[in-house]
Amino acid sequence: MRRNLVAGNWKMNGSLAANASLLSELKAGLESVGCDIAVCVPSPYLAQCQAELAGTVVALGGQDLSVHVSGAYTGDVAASMLVDFACKYVIVGHSERRAYHGETDQLVAQKALVALQSGLTPIVCVGETLAQREAGQTDVVVGAQLDAVLALIDLSQIKNIVIAYEPVWAIGTGKTATPQMAQDVHAALRNRVSLRDGESAAIVKILYGGSMKPDNAAELMAMPDIDGGLIGGAALKAIDFLSIIAVA
Ligand code: PEP
């Protein structure tokens, strides 16, 4: 039985004051939690969030990492830096990074590999654009995105990744994939993992992301291959994030 994971992706949002109040509301609202929880925060706030979350069940994560260990890579964040702040997770291949930073499937796969080698759990995002869905390309696109990662990492490491299916057309738009649409893609992704290793396929978590909210989380998470959510907008409101955690 896979344990659900609810991971917040704060994206480029927050301030010292806003983070403090969001996290204190979050901590106050957590009781008898039955799922894994994480927040992936902007790098400048890692120290603050590490301190705020110490001793809680909420794990910390980064939103991206460099494939390089250190050196002349202005603006980038090394895996070891995330580890320094006790991060457990790091998002790789978010569609915003693929779209605005030109990240390719190969680069994303390298990032997943570096994360694993550093003891971080990569949350590997895959997803199709609306045009790709309408052209019937969903499985081909997300399959290629996932295959690039599966081809690069060690067989024994597959169970240590988290996959997040995030249809690009559903991110921040208020449009959600129907539970069955999401389930179909999740099942296809799990099948792809099983082609590499059946045991890992049964273990690996596949999250849904894309306008997941308190009012649609239950029907999405009721699907057999949906193991939680990667939450953008709703992770910025403690009351919404807590409702999704309660569902999970
Ligand atoms: C995301 O960007 O990872 C995401 C799921 O965003 P939202 O929930 O706002 O659609």
CA distance 27 to 139: 38
Nearest CA to ligand 1 atom 4: 232
Grade residue 177 by pLDDT with cuts at 50, 70 and 90: confident
Confidence (pTM): 0.97
Residue linked to tokens 């790709």: 132
The catalytic site residues sit at 94, 166
The first and second tokens of residue 39, run together, are 């927040």
Ligand 1 binding pocket includes 212 (Cβ within 6 Å):
yes
Ligand 1 binding pocket includes 216 (Cβ within 6 Å):
no
Residue linked to tokens 């988290």: 162
Q: Is residue 1 predicted with pLDDT exceeding 80? A: no
Q: Tell which one of 9, 64, 237 to mutate to probe ligand 1, the residue whose CB is within 8 A of the most ligand atoms.
A: 9
Tell whether the torsion through CA atoms of 247, 83, 11 and 27 is positive or negative: positive
CATH architecture, range 5-247: Alpha-Beta Barrel (3.20)
- pLDDT tens digits along 3-48: 999 999 999 999 999 999 999 999 999 988 899 999 999 999 999 9
